[in-house]
Amino acid sequence: MIANHGYKDGSGEYYISIDTDKCSLCAEHGCLDGCPGQVFEIEFDDWDEEVATVRARERNKLKQICAACKPVSGRLVRLPCQIACGSEAITHSW
């Protein structure tokens, strides 16, 4: 399942999508330490599988929190969270 976490406003849509099928097979949980904004946490889904999610208190602040990883120029091809996740489970909408 693809779980989308974030929000949209007049300036755009700011969602982090997580492929929870990949999370359920992940033992490392590299996203937790790999994100300097501490955006992610692990929770049990409806099937009792451990999956990554975006902390509720951060969901409406993703544009601001992720800005440090997304410079206007010289933007990284892969974000720190995507590098930390060895399963390519994380995508961003912006």
CB 10, min distance to ligand SF4, A: 21
Considering the complex, what minimum distance in angstroms separates the CB of residue 54 from ligand SF4?
8
C-alpha distances in Å from residue 42, one per residue of 29, 36, 67, 70, 94 = 8, 16, 23, 24, 23
Considering beta carbons, is residue 9 or 26 the nearer one to ligand SF4? Answer: 26
Q: Which residues bind ligand SF4 (CB under 6 A)?
A: 18, 22-23, 26, 28-31, 35-37, 39, 52, 65-66, 69, 79-81, 85, 87, 89-90
Closest approach of Cβ 7 to ligand SF4, in Å?
Answer: 14
* CA atoms of 9 and 57, how far apart (whole Å): 17
